[in-house]
Amino acid sequence: MTTRGLVITAGDCARDPATTDAIIGLAKAGAITATALIPVSPDAPRAAAALRPLTEPSRRALPSAGPAGTPALPRPIAVRLQVTLSGRPGCGPWRPVSPMATLVRDGVLPDDPAWPAEHAHPDEVAIEIAAQHTWMVAHRLRPDGIDADDGTADNAPWPAAIGFCSRHALALRLPRDPARYLPDAGPDTHDRHLARVAACDRAGIRLPAAAVTNRRTAADLGGYQALLDHCVALLGTLPATGTSELVLHPAPLGAPGVSEADPVRTWELRMLTDPAWQEAVGAAGFTPVRSW
């Protein structure tokens, strides 16, 4: 069977304290290979301090593999910059790292993912991306890549993110194949996506071959087993060569937006440590890796 690379990412680190703790737990358990940090959150300094030792080689012996038949996950984990230009309901108030006037409304980042594309000035977006990256470096985290999809496929960060990655030799989470990551997007969105991929190729920016995520709600899925089956099926859609990525947003019950009525993030959290999931990754011929 052809060996394929798979980055297993838990996004939204520092979104709130409960989510931070859950992601730190996953990293310590060897259930993820990467995370993405939100620098504008009040919990970001604590998250950075907790992540820092997990990004450094350990002096202690670490387990070489998970359950029988599953591949070893690489240590340490990678931490990317999750460029964030809008707030999240129940998590704020969030403020930009740099005081950029067009990014804020009443002094804070609005809980509206469309706001950056409609109001933010491109120069201020570029300044804020640089400021968020500098914040991470100042907290002794050196991201090797950027996640720039701040809630919408056509938002303001992309041009500035591509330019920043080009100048600083950073990878960018922009999957080469938009169909898997944006299955419901129209042809115009796909065309813009492919134009960005072409721009990254011209700039020599590293991209994942493909990326998948769970876009189904708890109501759509109906239960945990359906989520597990869905994610295992997604693995089967990934290319036979190159490095792809699974992006999930795990969080415990009680985190903002996570409740008994909408528990899908808790299912994602459970799945990442489920031996059935880990065995499926190995059975599909994937080698878990930190970056593409």
What pLDDT, on the 0 to 100 scale, is given for residue 176?
92
Specify the pTM: 0.91
Residue 155's pLDDT band (cuts 50, 70, 90): low
Smallest Cα–Cα separation from 248: which of 95, 53, 19?
Answer: 19
Q: Band of the pLDDT at 1, cuts 50, 70, 90?
A: very low
Torsion sign across C-alpha atoms 279, 281, 287, 291:
negative
Domain boundaries in the chain?
4-289
Q: What is the second-level CATH architecture of the domain 4-289? A: Alpha-Beta Barrel (3.20)
Q: How far apart are the first and last CA of the chain?
A: 20
pLDDT tens digits along 226-284: 999 999 999 999 999 999 999 999 999 999 999 999 999 999 999 999 999 999 999 99
Annotate 256-283 with b (16+ C-beta within 10 A) or e (fewer).
ebbeeeebbbbbbbbbbbbeebbbbbbe
Residue 204 CA to residue 200 CA, distance in Å, equals 6
